[in-house]
Amino acid sequence: QVQLVESGGGLVQAGGSLRLSCAASGRAWSTYVMGWFRQAPGKEREFVGGINWSGSNTLYADSVKGRFNISRENTKDTVYLQMNSLKPEDTAVYYCASSSMRQIFTTAGFYNYWGQGTQVTVSS
């Protein structure tokens, strides 16, 4: 069992930055791939990015590539999503999730555990 709790969401103007955190606990969480997803009203949940267990490999959706960065500090049981140059279309509830797979998948079904989500709103 892995428990995940996101924090750091809020309201920001377009062009601004936010850093989301995902506090993890539970059995062997640090060996898991971690992913960030988001879901806007009326839309399906979409992959934002992911990071492997060591932090040596990351994968990003094209829509956020070059603007968002994922990192993890296993010693602090935390995964981060640094979001820069935010746009109104980034507005969504952001979720972190963990996967016991060895590679980063972009499909939500490969992720076993999910946090409760944190709201990010970007005003124009």
Partnered with residue 48 across adjacent β-strands are none
Query: Cβ(10)–Cβ(28) under 8 Å?
Result: no
**pLDDT tens readout for residues 6-43:** 999 999 999 999 999 999 998 777 778 999 999 999 99
Cα dihedral 86, 88, 93, 95, rounded to 10, equals -30
Confidence class for position 52, pLDDT limits 50, 70, 90: very high
Confidence class for position 61, pLDDT limits 50, 70, 90: very high
